[in-house]
Amino acid sequence: MQVTRRFAGIDLDLIADAGMAITGVTLAALAAWTPWGAVVVGPVWLRAALPPLMGLPLALRRRAPYVMWIALWAAIALQYGITSHPPEGLELFAPFAGAYSLGALVSLRRSALCVGVSAVMIIAARSGLSVIPLLAAWLVGVFVYTRASLTARNAVLQQQAEQAAATERVRIARELHDIVAHHLSVIVLQAAGARASGRAAEATLEKIENSGRQALVETRRLLGVLRDPGEGTGLAPQPGIDELGALAARVRASGVPVNLVVSGNHVALPAAVDVSVYRIVQEALTNVLKHAGHACADVTVACADDAVTIDVTDDGPRQPANPALAGGHGLVGMRERVAIFGGEFCAGPRPNGGFAVQARLPLRDGLLLGNASP
């Protein structure tokens, strides 16, 4: 798909095509009429008509490349049919520019067909027009087309990856809202209960209660901005490490054997870490289901005083190294989630086959203030 380039409302592609057409007409006219470029033989009317017939089709190179190519070779056939001489010298700009344009603007298969047919015609007519320079010009165009296609494809993949990261940030924000809202609700209830019992300074507890209520209102207002229009606003319970067993059972039911090992004390983990551990394992096992075929997965979650480490491996066929090429952005989401905590993440093929996902979520003061960039 071609994108029109504009500057200050001016179609730059149109100007470039018009400039190429004018160049083609000018060079063909020089070949036909100037003493030092007179290589076009034949009647006067042919020498007058040939420059526009050779050059003007180039104006259609971007908008109608096949029409350009047919019109260009019709002019060449007319010249050869009347004079028995192929284009020479400055005249060659038009067919070479046309061949380059086909390679640069049309898919490889179609442009190869057009140039191939023309090359066969040249060889069959024994016109003396060299096929090699024509093919060389086309190959230069093919190189430009291929490079532009790869650049556009990489841009699309990058955009998709950025969108996946943004989606994961919104998902994390919603989960954090539910966690924070729960704690604020507890604060409000405790403060209200203490004030009602009369065992504490009423003014102090009232201030705590009001501050907690206000924070809860503002947090819910923030969630209203983050939620999708059709999404409910109720607080949903968030899964954690305790639900990993049920998750592993569902994956086993889908046909992938899962060995789950959870070590250490996870009861006192911050709720945000607890949720993220579950989400990372969930996404890693989802990738196994999608890409690893008939594989076995090993999941290890180790809880220590300073960090929680996650290790998910499988022995299935290899996934593409680029998550976007695998048809999804699960790795992008996991990396984004780990970055929220300032942790470490790596994923890639294992030396002996299979795939590995490893993450480390540090436990320290201000853990939610880590670098949020992927």
Contact 165, 336 (CB under 8 A): yes
Q: What is the pLDDT of residue 353?
A: 83
Q: 39 lies in which domain range?
A: 6-129
Model confidence over 314-368: pLDDT tens digits? 987 755 544 444 434 578 888 888 888 889 999 989 888 889 999 999 986 433 3
Q: What is the mean pLDDT of the chain?
A: 79
Structure pTM? Answer: 0.49
Q: What is the pLDDT of residue 371?
A: 36
Residues 212 and 249 occupy one common structural domain:
no
Residues 201 and 257 occupy one common structural domain:
no
Residue 146 in domain: no
Mean pLDDT calculated for residue range 45-57: 91
Looking up residue 248, the CATH number of its domain turns out to be: 3.30.565.10
Residue 140 in domain: no
Q: What pairs with residue 362 in β-bridges?
A: 307
Q: Name the band, by pLDDT with cuts 50, 70 and 90, for residue 152.
A: confident
Q: What is the pLDDT of residue 246?
A: 92
Split into its structural domains, the chain has a count of 3
d(CA 94, CA 134): 11
Q: What angle do CA 295, 358, 346 make, to 5 degrees?
A: 110
- For residue 356, the surrounding DSSP H or E stretch is strand 355-362
pLDDT of residue 217 exceeding 70, the answer is no
Residues 214 and 246 occupy one common structural domain:
no
Report the first-to-last Cα separation within the chain, whole angstroms. Answer: 30
Residues 287 and 345 occupy one common structural domain:
yes
Contact 371, 327 (CB under 8 A): no
Mean pLDDT calculated for residue range 36-64: 84
Residue at a domain's end among 198, 226, 254: 226
Q: Name the band, by pLDDT with cuts 50, 70 and 90, for residue 128.
A: low
Residues 365 and 262 occupy one common structural domain:
yes
Q: What are phi and psi of 323, to 5 degrees?
A: -60, -30
Q: What is the pLDDT of residue 230?
A: 53
